[in-house]
Amino acid sequence: MIALVQRVAQAHVEIAGTTVGAIGTGLLVLVCAEPADDDATADKLVAKLLKLRIFGDAAGKMNLSLVDVGGGLLVVSQFTLAADVSGGNRPSFTGAAPPELGRRLYERVVSSARAQHAPVACGEFGASMQVHLVNDGPVTIPIAIRN
């Protein structure tokens, strides 16, 4: 799985002008499943997200996790993270999982995160969404989890 993690002061996602998910301080995570991914891959991603130490401690050093700070997690599906532009200027998305697998693994990430942490908000798989965020730092980290 591919994820783009952004530490945020706040974030929300809208569909057709309606907010469907929102958090305050926490992580906005854009998630893309790849064809070889499975439930174990999704679970590894969630474990990494919850333990990733990118929040400042009392000394300002990135030393605290999402769990440590009690922050929110906003998970948004984004198949375009698998874009390949090596063959020209129009991206190819053949590296993304087929929609059925992508949806199932996205839902696995959300349900696994909710079982281990609160609050967890999300977008809607396959929907046209507008994502609003205030990146804190800014801190943006790409993550790739492979089997």
Q: Which of 6, 41, 55, 78 is catalytic?
A: 78
**Are the C-beta atoms of residues 114 and 106 closer than 8 Å to each other?**
no
Q: Which of 80, 93, 125, 140 is catalytic?
A: 80
Q: Which of 79, 93, 125, 140 is catalytic?
A: 79
41: annotated active-site residue: no
Q: Which amino acid is at 136?
A: D
DSSP state of 25: S
**Are the C-beta atoms of residues 136 and 16 closer than 8 Å to each other?**
no
Residues pairing with 31 in the sheet? 3, 77
80: annotated active-site residue: yes
79: annotated active-site residue: yes
Q: What is the chain's length?
A: 147
Catalytically annotated residues: 78-80
